[in-house]
Amino acid sequence: MKSLPKGFRGAAIAAGLKSTGALDLTLIENTGPLFDAAAVYTSNKVVAAPVIWSREVTKGKLVRAAVLNSGGANACTGPQGFADTHHTAEKVGELLGISSGEVVVCSTGLIGELLPMPKIFAGLETISAAMKTDSLDDVSRAIMTTDSVPKVATANIKGTEFAAIAKGAGMLAPALATMLSVVMTDAVLPKNAQEIFTRVTDRTYNRIDSDGCTSTNDTVLLMGSGASGVALSESELEAALMDVCGSLAAQLIADAEGSTKTVAITVTGAASESDAVEVARACARNNLLKCAIFGADPNWGRVLAAVGTADAQMDPLNIDVILNGVHVAKESAPFEDKNLVSFAERLVSLEVNLNVGSAIATVMTNDLSHDYVEENSAYST
């Protein structure tokens, strides 16, 4: 029952959205004195009603509350779905005495079904009467879908506190791959917090890639209460955010129930960081390569075949591959004996050196396993 940062209250209940009776609805309130906010949303063109709503809310960079539910994504639900999101924000506004336009709404679960609104309204009545400061654990549990454990990260810097929660990601949320995260802090944020938060998101959450599928609901929200009275510099904020978001990203990839391996793909010698990310992502999304890793098969030819599909500067005849420390390919040809590669550990380290520059990036992914197919083949029925 860890505490939220100063200036935050929250609570969660089982509103009956999940058939299991687990926590499925939570409310987080920023009681100020500041109500700074920044947010990053899914890049998918098809977005859920809560994303359409929340994108408008966070344009003003002022957020007083966030309401999040699991047990239903409220995506592809038409005008009624949007009205439901709107009414949820209005209900929260009414209960907390704030404007609905200051309320972010997040949903996660199955696409294409309307939420049971009476249960949400009743749940919010109960929650709003039970708001407390030591609710970090409850809040983190209420957004879980197929996650096996709740994800929480905290940090302290210069007397300020950060507490962050997250759920989902690809293989561990085989349903919809929805990623939700809320970062709370009592620090006074610098003016360009949005810019910093976008950059941190890009280097943490956007560098875990379980299956290349982006969701209709992905939302990452930063809320600052300023209650510590301590103003952080840009670099201090960035360091604290890298800490909590980096930790959560690692927790997400580690909780990939359908996987047997975590693969850290590091591309070195790239002409630019974006080239390095592009090449790493091409590997992370290559099914043949991911199956080979599941099978503990040091088939580095699939690495080069994947690298060659990336839109990045390279010399196809001068690429090196180092797999779990074994330099299996040099100048795009066999080098050390691939049978020396051990797959005994869960973590697999794959390094690709493009030998054309000095930029580096790492993307984390998982293998493609029988359990991935199993979990994702029988979700909605």
- Are 8 and 133 in contact, with CB atoms under 8 Å apart? yes
Which one of the listed residues 77, 178, 204, 365 is annotated catalytic? 178
The residue range among 99-107, 146-154, 158-166, 364-372 that interacts with its own copies, by the rule CB under 8 A, is 364-372
Question: Binding of its own copies at residue 195 (CB under 8 A)?
Answer: no
Question: Binding of its own copies at residue 147 (CB under 8 A)?
Answer: no
Between CA 263 and CA 91 the distance in angstroms is: 44
Q: Write the binding mask 116 to 135 for its own copies: x where contact by CB under 8 A, - elsewhere.
A: --------------------
Strand 333-334 to 326-330 pairing: antiparallel
**Residue 191 assigned to a binding site:** no
Would you say 176 or 196 has its CB closer to its own copies? 176
The residue range among 29-37, 97-105, 358-366, 368-376 that interacts with its own copies, by the rule CB under 8 A, is 368-376
Q: Which of 237, 307, 322, 361 binds its own copies (CB under 8 A)?
A: 307
Q: How far apart are the first and last CA of the chain?
A: 35
Question: Binding of its own copies at residue 342 (CB under 8 A)?
Answer: no
Whether 178 is a known active-site residue: answer yes
| Exposed e or buried b per residue across 26-65, where buried means at least 16 C-beta atoms within 10 angstroms of its C-beta | bbbbbbeebbbbbbbbbeeeebbbbbebbeebbeebebbb
| Least distance in angstroms from the C-beta of 44 to its own copies | 4
Selection from 347, 340, 345 nearest residue 298 by Cα:
340
| Least distance in angstroms from the C-beta of 127 to its own copies | 27
**Residue 260 assigned to a binding site:** no
Between CA 229 and CA 233 the distance in angstroms is: 13
Question: Binding of its own copies at residue 140 (CB under 8 A)?
Answer: no
Q: Which of 8, 41, 205, 300 binds its own copies (CB under 8 A)?
A: 300
Residue 149 sits at φ, ψ, to 5 deg, of -140, 150
* Cross-sheet strand order for the sheet of 347-353: 333-334, 326-330, 320-323, 347-353, 262-270, 359-366
Question: Binding of its own copies at residue 334 (CB under 8 A)?
Answer: yes
Between CA 244 and CA 163 the distance in angstroms is: 8
Half-sphere exposure of 54 (CA within 13 A, CB side): 31
**Residue 257 assigned to a binding site:** yes
Question: Binding of its own copies at residue 295 (CB under 8 A)?
Answer: yes
The residue range among 40-48, 156-164, 224-232, 248-256 that interacts with its own copies, by the rule CB under 8 A, is 40-48
Between CA 316 and CA 128 the distance in angstroms is: 60
Q: What is the DSSP string of 316-343?
A: TTS-EEEETTEEEEETTEE-S-GGG---
Look at residue 238 and give its three-state secondary structure: helix
Could you tell me what percentage of the chain is helix, strand and coil, using 3-state DSSP and rounding each to the nearest 5?
35, 25, 40
- Alpha-carbon torsion 39, 42, 48, 49, what sign? positive
| Least distance in angstroms from the C-beta of 336 to its own copies | 12
The residue range among 140-148, 153-161, 232-240, 310-318 that interacts with its own copies, by the rule CB under 8 A, is 310-318
Residue 195 sits at φ, ψ, to 5 deg, of -60, -45
Q: Which of 272, 301, 349, 357 binds its own copies (CB under 8 A)?
A: 301
Question: Binding of its own copies at residue 44 (CB under 8 A)?
Answer: yes
Binding-site size for its own copies (CB under 8 A) equals 70
Question: Binding of its own copies at residue 47 (CB under 8 A)?
Answer: yes
Residue 157 sits at φ, ψ, to 5 deg, of -150, 125
Question: Binding of its own copies at residue 180 (CB under 8 A)?
Answer: no
Question: Binding of its own copies at residue 56 (CB under 8 A)?
Answer: no
Q: Residue numbers of the site for its own copies (CB under 8 A)?
A: 43-47, 73, 75-81, 110-113, 174, 176-177, 211-216, 285-288, 291-292, 294-302, 304-310, 314, 316-317, 319, 329, 331-334, 338, 368-370, 372-374, 376-381
Q: Which residues are catalytic?
A: 178
List, as residue ranges, the binding site for substrate. Answer: 145, 167, 178, 257, 376, 381
